Amino acid sequence: MGGAPVPPAVPASLGDREMSQPRSPVAWVGASAMRGTQFMGRMVLFLGVGLGWIFLPPAKLRRSIQQVYDIGVQSLFVVFITAAFTGMVLGLQGYYTLSKFGSETLLGSAVALSLIRELGPVLTALMVTGRAGSSMAAEIGIMRISEQIDALDTMAIDPMKFLVAPRLAGSIVAVPLLTAFFDVVGIYGGYIIGVKLLGVNPGAYFGEMRSSVEMVDIIGGLIKSLCFGCIIAWVCCYMGYFAERGAAGVSRATTTAVVLSSALIFMWDYLLTSVLL
Partner 1 sequence: MLSIRGLWKQFGDQLVLRGIDLDMPSGKTTAIIGRSGCGKTVLLKHCIGLLKPDRGSIYVDEQEISRLRKKELNVARRRFGMLFQSAALFDSLNVFDNVAFPLREKTTLREEEIRRRTRERLRQVDLEEMAHKYPAELSGGMKKRVGLARALVMDPAIILFDEPTTGLDPLMEHAIHRLIRDTQRQFGFTAVVVSHSIPQIFDIAHQVALMYDGQIVAQGTPEELRASAHPVVQQFLGATIEGPLVLDN
In the complex, which residues of this chain contact partner 1 (CB under 8 A)?
1-2, 4, 6-7, 9-10, 12-13, 16-17, 20, 142-143, 146-148, 150-151, 153-158
Angle 251-256-261 (CA atoms, 0-180°, nearest 5)? 135
- Residue closest to 59 by CA, chosen among 170, 166, 168: 166
Q: To the nearest whole angstrom, how small is the minimum distance from the Cβ of residue 138 to partner 1?
A: 12
- 260: CB partners within 8 A, 6+ apart: 235, 239
Kindly tell me which of 150 and 214 has the beta carbon lying closer to partner 1. 150
Task: Give the Cα separation of 70 and 171 in Å (integer).
Answer: 10
Q: To the nearest whole angstrom, how small is the minimum distance from the Cβ of residue 148 to partner 1?
A: 5
Kindly tell me which of 111 and 164 has the beta carbon lying closer to partner 1. 164
Q: Identify whether the C-beta of residue 232 lies closer than 8 Å to the C-beta of residue 128.
A: yes
Q: To the nearest whole angstrom, how small is the minimum distance from the Cβ of residue 10 to partner 1?
A: 5
Q: To the nearest whole angstrom, how small is the minimum distance from the Cβ of residue 109 to partner 1?
A: 46
Give the E-state strand segments of the chain in sequence order: none
- 208: CB partners within 8 A, 6+ apart: 105, 106, 107, 108, 109
Kindly tell me which of 1 and 26 has the beta carbon lying closer to partner 1. 1
Q: Identify whether the C-beta of residue 212 lies closer than 8 Å to the C-beta of residue 113.
A: yes
- Residue closest to 79 by CA, chosen among 127, 33, 22: 127
Task: Give the Cα separation of 163 and 174 in Å (integer).
Answer: 17
Q: To the nearest whole angstrom, how small is the minimum distance from the Cβ of residue 252 to partner 1?
A: 18
Give one DSSP letter per residue of 86-140, joined into a string.
Answer: HHHHHHHHHHHHHHHTT-GGGHHHHHHHHIIIIIHHHHHHHHHIIIIIHHHHHHH
Kindly tell me which of 143 and 173 has the beta carbon lying closer to partner 1. 143
Kindly tell me which of 66 and 93 has the beta carbon lying closer to partner 1. 66
Kindly tell me which of 140 and 185 has the beta carbon lying closer to partner 1. 140
Task: Give the Cα separation of 160 and 212 in Å (integer).
Answer: 44
Kindly tell me which of 153 and 214 has the beta carbon lying closer to partner 1. 153
